Amino acid sequence: MNLRVLTWNVWWRFGPDWRDRQPRLLHYLREAEADVVALQECWGGDGTSQAHEFAAALGRHAAFVAPGLPPAPPDSPYEVGLGLISRWPLRVSAEPLPSLNRDPVPVSAVAEIEHPAGTLHVIAACLEWEPAYAKDRIAQGRAVTDLATDYLRDGPLPVILCGDLNAAPDSPVLAPVHAAMVDTWTAGGGDPATTTLRSDHPQAPLEAVELLDQRIDHIFVRAGNPDQTIRVTGVQALGDPIDGLYPSDHYGVLCDLDW
């Protein structure tokens, strides 16, 4: 069986050209033709969400949960959250992440997708990024790993953990994930020098100096049962400018799995 997964931090309504960025994001979503798309910094409000609008254009199913990170501007009627777009119907719950410094606390999105072969479990998250809140980020790394490795999610399909984890591959934040799951970028032969948050972006978040020019957006996978062999047959970063405008301040990460 095959599965294509995309994770992308789509930069909410931040930046001066957010409306012009939307068709560029949709261009890449159409081109990718992913079965499952996880969006971080996804906007939601006024009875809809960015994920639902994209899903309507793509003929897919969608869900949205909030709050995510970073916090929405206090004067905005739109939330910052997590969106999921799926080829198949899905149910999504919001699981609080450990946080001593955020009120309300951010959540992860825990999805059960009605894949033809059974339930596909996907956990999507955007972890803490502020250096002063490093303990929260480490605790959140453990929390999403626990969600993804819960034996109740074992079954005929792989289990996927993805998102903007705000941690480079060798970060201690990801140590528990690496111990339990496969980094699809590495397994798929991705260039180890690839970065998903670049300092040469016109609106690069220069205050996030420890995260710049690092691969901080990830897709991890584990087998759903001991007899399952998962192969990563391709990986790709996407998000180059279209007509001079970047779709997001992050690059998306795409992977192809088969088992």
Is the per-residue pLDDT at 166 higher than 90?
Answer: yes
Is the per-residue pLDDT at 208 higher than 90?
Answer: no
Q: How many CB atoms lie within 10 A of CB 212?
A: 17
Residues 161, 92: Cα–Cα separation, whole Å: 14
Angle at 142 (CA atoms; ends 140, 145), nearest 5 degrees: 110
Mean pLDDT of 53-81: 97
CA distance from start to end of the chain: 5
Q: How many CB atoms lie within 10 A of CB 259?
A: 16
Q: What is the pLDDT of residue 206?
A: 87
C-alpha distances (whole Å) from 53 to each of 24, 26, 60, 145 are 14, 10, 10, 30
Is the per-residue pLDDT at 152 higher than 90?
Answer: yes
Q: For 105-129, write each residue's pLDDT tens digit.
A: 999 999 999 999 999 999 999 999 9
Is the per-residue pLDDT at 17 higher than 90?
Answer: yes
Mean pLDDT, the chain, whole residue set: 97
Which residues lie across from 95 on neighbouring strands?
A: 108
The owner of tokens 């777009």 is: 85
Residues 6+ apart with CB under 8 A from 80: 12, 41, 42, 43, 66, 67, 68, 69, 70, 71, 72
Q: For 179-201, write each residue's pLDDT tens digit.
A: 999 999 999 999 999 999 999 99
Mean pLDDT of 152-158: 98
CATH class name, domain 2-258: alpha beta
pLDDT > 70 in the chain, percent: 100
Is the per-residue pLDDT at 207 higher than 90?
Answer: no
Mean pLDDT of 231-258: 98
Kindly list the domain boundaries of the chain, sorted by start residue: 2-258
